[in-house]
Amino acid sequence: MTAIIETPLWLVEPSERRLREISHVASLRAPPSATYASSILQDASALRRLALEFIRRANAYTSLILRLPPELIFEIFTHVVRLEPTSPKELGWIRLGHVSYAFRSVLLSMPGLWASAIWDVADHARHEVLSRARDMPLSIQLKTGRKLDVSSNKIKFAMDNIDRARRIKIEERQGTKILWSFEPRDLSGRVFPHLEEIDVMLLHHDTSLRDPDWLGPDVYGLEPVQAPRLRSVFLVNVFIPISPNNLTTLALIRTKYYGNGTIAASSDLLPSPEEFLHMLAQCGNVEYLTLQNVTPAIAPLHTSLRSIDAIKLSSLKELTLCSPMSEIIAFWTYLAPLPHEVELCLKPDYTEAAIATGGFVDSRRLSLISLFLEHLACHDPSRVTALAFEADKESFITQCGFFKRAADASQDSWAGLSVYNANCEVGDDYKTFLDIWLHQCVWAEHSTLARFIDYIPEPFFAQIDTLDVLDVNVEDLQRLFARLPNIHTLHFRSPESSPLASLVYKTESSGPSTALERRAYLPKLTHLRLHDMDFGDIQAQFHGNILHYDEVENVLSSRFAAGVPLQSFHVIQSRIYADQAVVDALIARMQEMVVGDVTADMEVL
């Protein structure tokens, strides 16, 4: 029997001896002994374990990585984790633990990895992963949305372990499932030893009493949570008692409407003026501050009290205010002079549902920018050189944004540059100085866009040499151009109606012109950019708001003939209703009338 088994030499004698013993006992014809049978099975189990250990040793001998010390395997795994992260659909780096005992041992010695993967495993495995994370802080992430649901077990697990959180990110995007179950009173005074960031965005629910229960004025005076590491707070439709003293980022946001336009927020859900100003006074370390529909009705601070009671936000880098006009005006009076590099974005009368709410006339809009003259004077006005101007009638929004050259930008020339990048965000060359978006804005007979332009103080326009304009009619454009004689770079985006006529250089021989037209042709213009335009001939007019080829050529030829030709002309992400031969001929004629480069990024239709 033993002869047919291939046995290594070192095992031949003991294995044969044991097998002979078993055969001898079996031949005695004595009643079977359960104890002896168990000893045979124990031998077999021991041999299986020994075989597995031999296989591990063989793998370690033949595989270089398995022969490395655990410290080096640890370093390798830290790189593998970046390349193979876990996700709800992929185990990622967890699969390494299935390769070998050595790999598994190293992974089990990295509790931080298991803490990061706790939301990517199935509900039944989550407690096992939590045990492997040991006492490491967790990053809690829950999100609902289209085709994205969260199990009740996962929500309960998150809420049960909230005290262990380093980062909390809760997003209710769609549906009726409640992801966050803590009202402010439940959290008051609670200890969060690891918490560094909290981002909670909740939805309004029509049938829920959560808003009045959780956002009453009394919650803003509760004892704050004890979170010494907390630096970033972003709260939407929820409040957590906090102390802003150590924060660098604070965003308190209340959406004002349900999706159907029904008012959901009201003044009795806001903090009292005293609580609000007390909270603001604690924001001395805050660098990024966003307040949306959370500012109560506060009385403006009298000028004589500003030197004593003004609030100093000495670390501030970005301030975003979205509130009714009166509250923004009053809020501004409480601020001491802000740091030089601060970026301001103001959205008076902001709403998420402009089409549902419509717009209204407010004459205070005319003089709003005048409130920031002192702010301009306290900074370096020579760097404020770019203006973005938009008048969107359909959305009831008017933008008037002033932008400054970035302090760290190293440009030999600013001519031809854009405020915005390809993603319509402020690019690297500019920084926001004062960007005002007037929401629910309607211009009427005694409160017109033209008067708004006239009311803008001259110091704001003095250094402007770059203009980005969208949806402004010809008459208002001419008024704006007349106040901007130093423009060398102009960006037109999706014009409301044939704006290029404003740029035709008119001479005495070209016919009569008004005084406004003579001031409005931008005599220093050298770089013209047309974005998102439709071009065509008279036959293409049925396609909508289309610029005729002649309008473009008239601008270029008139300025060329007058001795003030453009240095560059770019058409960007636009469309043209013509065949390729017409397009090629048009570009050739443009190149003859422009001193520098001509580029035409146009889809031929």
pLDDT at 474: 85
Closest CA to 253 of 262, 264, 245: 264
Does 496 or 467 have the greater pLDDT score? 467
CA 229 to each of CA 196, 316, 321, 460, 599: distance values in angstroms, whole numbers, following the listed order:
5, 20, 26, 41, 52
Residue type, 187: L
Summarize pLDDT for 428-465 with one digit per residue, the tens: 999 999 999 999 999 998 899 999 999 999 999 999 99
DSSP for 136-171 reads --EEEEEEEBTTB---HHHHHHHHHTGGGEEEEEEE
Summarize pLDDT for 300-314 with one digit per residue, the tens: 999 899 889 999 999
- Indicate if the pLDDT at residue 67 is higher than 80: no
Provide the percentage of residues in the chain whose pLDDT is more than 90.
48
State the average pLDDT over residues 1-30: 78
pLDDT at 549: 82
pLDDT at 384: 96
pLDDT at 246: 95
Angstrom distance (rounded) from CA 385 to CA 402: 8
- Indicate if the pLDDT at residue 4 is higher than 60: no
Q: How confident is the model at residue 2 (pLDDT cuts 50, 70, 90)?
A: very low
State the average pLDDT over residues 99-121: 84
Does 273 or 507 have the greater pLDDT score? 273
pLDDT at 422: 86
Residue 525 CA to its chain's centroid (Å): 35
- Indicate if the pLDDT at residue 330 is higher than 80: yes
Look up residue 585 and give its two tokens.
């001929």
Look up residue 309 and give its two tokens.
């009671």
Strand partners, 233: 198, 250
- Indicate if the pLDDT at residue 539 is higher than 70: no
Cβ 295 vs Cβ 263: under 8 Å: no
Average pLDDT, the chain: 87
- Indicate if the pLDDT at residue 116 is higher than 90: no
pLDDT at 540: 53
Element (H, E) at 127: helix 126-132
Q: Is 545 helix (H, G, I), strand (E, B) or coil?
A: coil
Provide the percentage of residues in the chain whose pLDDT is more than 70.
91
Does 494 or 415 have the greater pLDDT score? 415
Angstrom distance (rounded) from CA 252 to CA 295: 10
Tokens 């454009």 map to which residue? Answer: 477
Look up residue 364 and give its two tokens.
């205070």
Least confident of 1-10, 173-182, 225-234, 353-362: 1-10
Dmax over CA atoms of the chain, in Å, equals 132
pLDDT at 53: 82
State the average pLDDT over residues 137-163: 87
State the average pLDDT over residues 247-261: 79
Summarize pLDDT for 374-408 with one digit per residue, the tens: 999 998 899 999 999 999 988 999 999 999 999 88
Summarize pLDDT for 261-274 with one digit per residue, the tens: 444 556 677 899 99
Highest average pLDDT, of 87-96, 146-155, 176-185, comes from 176-185
